[in-house]
């Protein structure tokens, strides 16, 4: 989100499973800005995937002590309040420049496993903005309606 110029939106929560994946950010995106932001996010995702496939970067996924996780996540604002204090947790960074996030889900080992990202809806949810997305394998057709496909 920060690469798309939205440093005002702080990651809050994510659900990264095949059925209904999304990321929530603290903040808001007004209706008239959502379509342009979705296109910008798709462009940045495509660029990041291409750059890291070429570079051969592996995803950083590591179980860390609470203190180690705190150090890894310092640039991202630290460990979120919902994580139990003092307990180990897994830290994920998809690319070397990633600020990182705590993670309890299943993730790719290598960015090369991702074909492309399609941004779905952006909607306001409990004071946050929720961005739905879909990971599309290389060569698979878009699932967006023709008016939304980029």
What tens digit of pLDDT does each residue of 20-74 get?
899 999 999 999 999 999 999 999 999 988 988 888 878 888 999 999 999 999 9
Instruction: Say how far apart CA 134 and CA 30 lie, in whole Å.
Output: 22
Q: What is the CATH number of the domain that holds 140?
A: 3.30.980.10
Assign 146 a pLDDT band (cuts: 50, 70, 90). low
Chain-centroid distance of CA 68 in Å reads 22
Identify whether residues 120 and 149 lie together within a single domain: yes
Q: Decide which of 17 and 39 is more confident.
A: 39
Q: Residue 119 belongs to what domain range?
A: 1-52+113-150
Distances (CA, A) of 143 to 116, 120, 140: 12, 10, 9
Whether the pLDDT of residue 127 is over 50: the answer is: yes
pLDDT of residue 149: 46
Identify whether residues 129 and 89 lie together within a single domain: no
Identify whether residues 95 and 137 lie together within a single domain: no
Assign 145 a pLDDT band (cuts: 50, 70, 90). low
Identify whether residues 99 and 139 lie together within a single domain: no
13 with 27: CB under 8 angstroms? no
Identify whether residues 67 and 103 lie together within a single domain: yes
On the CB side of 11, how many CA atoms lie within 13 Å of its CA?
A: 20
Identify whether residues 119 and 46 lie together within a single domain: yes
What tens digit of pLDDT does each residue of 78-113 get?
888 888 899 999 998 888 888 888 887 777 788 888
Contacts of 13 (CB under 8 A, 6+ apart): 23, 24, 82, 128
Whether the pLDDT of residue 142 is over 80: the answer is: no
- Give a three-class secondary structure readout of 90-120: EEEECCCCCCCEEECCCCCCEHHHCCEEEEE
Identify whether residues 127 and 88 lie together within a single domain: no
pLDDT of residue 95: 82
Whether the pLDDT of residue 119 is over 70: the answer is: yes
Identify whether residues 96 and 127 lie together within a single domain: no
pTM: 0.77
Strands 128-136 and 116-125, by their bridges, are antiparallel
Assign 141 a pLDDT band (cuts: 50, 70, 90). confident
Structural domains in the chain (count)? 2
């Amino acid at each position: 989100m920060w690469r798309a110029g939205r440093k005002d939106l702080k990651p809050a929560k994510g659900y990264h499973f095949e059925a209904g994946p999304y990321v929530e950010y603290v903040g808001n995106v007004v209706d008239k800005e959502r379509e342009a932001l979705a296109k910008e996010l798709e462009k940045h995702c495509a660029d990041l995937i291409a750059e890291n496939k070429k570079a051969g970067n592996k995803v950083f996924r590591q179980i860390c002590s609470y203190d180690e996780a705190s150090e890894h996540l310092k640039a991202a604002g630290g460990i979120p309040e919902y994580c139990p204090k003092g307990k180990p947790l897994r830290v994920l960074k998809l690319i070397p420049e990633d600020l990182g996030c705590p993670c309890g889900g299943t993730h790719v080992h290598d960015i090369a496993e991702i074909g492309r990202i399609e941004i779905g809806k952006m909607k306001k949810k409990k004071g946050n903005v929720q961005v739905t997305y879909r990971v599309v394998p290389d060569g698979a057709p878009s699932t967006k309606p023709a008016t939304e496909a980029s």
